[in-house]
């Protein structure tokens, strides 16, 4: 019989995001089944990224963390939602095509002091 396992995210700390909150498992009779829920632990950040000319990056562009490989997609207005961000400087590459002029890089740092909000906000220019 298929069992549905879900995590109540309202009980998680503000700095934890789960990649998925529900899994379905089918244990054998009398067996226990382990389910792994991958978590991003760190800051949540909304960063508005503009190109060299100050225009928002294209909707649907793919941003990749140069160190961890974590990915996010650019929303309308050049906005990226990032989670699991550590307290050090982050370098990202954004691509929206295969040409050299269809990619750029930006970096940002989280504040040194403990944030007073669960989602940090900032801006960055992609070069």
Same domain, 37 and 16: yes
> CA-to-CA distance for 50 and 42, rounded, in angstroms?
24
Burial class of 11 by CB neighbour count within 10 A (0 to 12, 13 to 18, 19+):
exposed
pLDDT of 68 reads 87
pTM of the model: 0.72
Output the CA angle 20-25-31, nearest 5 degrees: 135
User: What is the reported pLDDT for 14?
Assistant: 81
54 with 99, same domain: the answer is yes
Domain count, the chain: 2
For the chain, residues with pLDDT lower than 70 are none
User: In which domain, by residue range, is 92 found?
Assistant: 43-125
pLDDT in the model for residue 63: 97
Burial class for 101, CB neighbours closer than 10 Å (0-12, 13-18, 19+): exposed
Same domain, 87 and 32: no
């Amino acid at each position: 019989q298929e069992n549905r396992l879900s995590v109540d995210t309202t009980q998680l700390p503000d700095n934890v995001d789960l990649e998925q909150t529900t899994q379905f498992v089918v244990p054998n009779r009398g067996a226990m089944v382990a389910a792994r829920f991958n978590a991003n632990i760190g800051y949540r950040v909304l960063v508005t990224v503009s190109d060299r000319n100050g225009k928002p990056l294209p909707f649907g562009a793919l941003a990749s963390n140069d160190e961890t490989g974590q990915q996010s997609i650019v929303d309308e207005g050049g906005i990226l939602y990032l989670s699991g961000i550590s307290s050090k400087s982050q370098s990202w590459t954004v691509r929206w095509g295969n040409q050299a002029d269809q990619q750029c890089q930006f970096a940002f740092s989280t504040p040194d002091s403990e944030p007073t909000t669960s989602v940090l906000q900032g801006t960055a220019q992609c070069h």
